[in-house]
Amino acid sequence: MTEVFNDISKFQMKINTAKDSIGFVPSLGALHEGHISLIKRSLNENSHTVVSLFLNPTQFNDKNDLKNYPNTFDDDLKILQNLKVDFLLAPEPNNIYPDDYTYKINETKLSNVLCGATRPGHFTGVLTIVAKLLNIVNPNRAYFGEKDYQQYLLIDYMTKALFMKTKIVPCPIIREPSGLALSSRNLLLTEGEKLIAPNLHKIISSDSSISDMHTQLTGFGFKVDYIEEHWGRLFAAAFLGNVRLIDNVQI
């Protein structure tokens, strides 16, 4: 049975008694097969697995995005129980931010491109909450999906720069049969948008020029945020209706 903790102090008292290795999968909730793949890897590689469900307000630069983010806590808990996850950490915001978000981790280089260029404050919120969670859980390994590849790099570099013991483990993107990268935000797509959404991956996987990719995506009704090459990958972000989708492929 998965033990659920809302109180950080009580969780730390419990986790400090755990022997052998601890794996950690942080999440915003609305768990899907992508999250499940991370959890299963942690279960296979560690003696204990912790999953956090915390809809972190500080990483949302758009208040409507935060307001509309799917809340599926009861279903998420059932998934964790079925997987036999050891611990669920689900703290309240005032428990995570007793300082009222006065102390922040601000990266000044890698976070200025891609999502960082168009979502001001996003990665400061991400790095701050991940640092807090890693300090709370103190895991041997933490698992992050490569769909958010820029986020993975920033977190990996942060742990190294701050001499944190946790190893950051990247995990492959999990896709629907259509090629659409799994995301909690996919739940917000209309039925019509779900039919169009797979074209994002299809187009950025093609041999077209970046200019032609822009044109093709616009033709399908996407509002392109960016298509750029970095770190041997092609990254794309685009709005479909009110939903912002991201993806990346190796070049």
Closest CA to 77 of 23, 187, 2: 2
Q: Which of 35, 48, 122, 201 is catalytic?
A: 35
DSSP H or E run through 245? strand 243-250
The size of the chain, in residues, is: 251
Give helix then strand counts, H and E, for the chain.
11, 9
Residue type, 117: A
CB 122, CB 115: distance < 8 Å: yes
Closest CA to 158 of 188, 183, 185, 124: 124
- Which structure tokens are listed for 31? 């768990």
Query: Which residues does residue 5 pair with via DSSP β-bridges, in sequence order?
Result: 89
Whether 35 is a known active-site residue: answer yes
- Which structure tokens are listed for 154? 């920033």
- Which structure tokens are listed for 117? 């260029």
Closest CA to 196 of 223, 226, 234: 223
Helix, strand, coil tally for the chain in percent (to 5): 45, 20, 35
Query: Which residues does residue 235 pair with via DSSP β-bridges, in sequence order?
Result: 228, 248
Which residues are the active-site residues?
A: 35
